[in-house]
Amino acid sequence: MLLHIPQVFTRDEVTRIRQALEGAQWIDGRVTAGYQSVKAKSNEQLAEDDPLAREIAEAMLQRLWQHPLFFSAALPNKAYPPMFNRYRDGGTFGFHIDNAIRKVRGSAEQVRTDVSSTLFFSDPDEYEGGELVIEDTYGVRQVKFAAGDLVVYPGTSRHKVMPVTRGTRYASFFWTQSMIREDSQRTLLFEMDQAIQGLTADMPDHPSLLTLTGTYHNLLRRWAEV
């Protein structure tokens, strides 16, 4: 499942975050790449222990954990702290699949990368290229959303970032370990949850709501790993 979640941050919030990112200290993005992906990666990142990265990451996760659409889609258990990248001057990242397990820096905690997310901090007209290309069972999608918008997609997907030939592309990316390991099961639960919410809004007294809600939670109980 690939999902577009608009306006995680408002325009004013994006402006303040962008100003902070533009004045930050950036390092070679290959420092966090795996053995295979390091060969395809050409970008810059904030150091994982950078105070600015930690401040924005904390605000992002707090916002997203309270966001009904993100929670419904990802069913998060825990997350790898968001990181931040910058693409410019031809920067790119060729096709790769993210590592299945990420060890949190400075911690014994590990996160299984079930769900990948990218939050854009540059608008599409601010740079040329830089599309996030995602391949999966649903086909190939090119993603280039507005600043403040989030894309959520399976961590098992092959994906790449096209070369940025003009301007600068700022974004954040992170992984979520879901309570539901399998994307197909998460998708079924998401679709059921959205249908229940729609029915609740249109016909709040419909007798089928009790049955549907009970079925949703029984499936969640059967499949969840917590």
Render pLDDT for 67-87 as a digit per residue (tens, 0 to 9). 999 999 999 999 999 999 999
What letter represents residue 137's amino acid?
T
* pLDDT averaged over every residue in the chain: 95
Beta strands in 23-109 (DSSP E): 26-28, 41-42, 44-46, 76-79, 83-87, 92-96, 101-103
Handedness of CA 58, 186, 190, 207 (dihedral sign): negative
Is 217 marked as a binding-site residue? no
Region 183-223: CATH code: 4.10.860
Is 98 marked as a binding-site residue? yes
**pTM metric for this prediction:** 0.93
Q: List, for residues 190-200, the tens digit of each pLDDT value.
A: 999 999 999 99
Residue for token pair 């700022």? 170
* Domain ranges (residues) in the chain: 3-178, 183-223
Handedness of CA 79, 41, 118, 100 (dihedral sign): negative
Q: List, for residues 79-119, the tens digit of each pLDDT value.
A: 999 999 999 999 999 999 999 999 998 899 999 999 999 99
Task: Give the model's pLDDT for residue 138.
Answer: 78
Superfamily of domain 3-178: q2cbj1_9rhob like domain (2.60.120.620)
Task: Please check whether the two domains, 3-178 and 183-223, share a CATH topology.
Answer: no
Residue for token pair 């949703």? 216
Is 28 marked as a binding-site residue? no
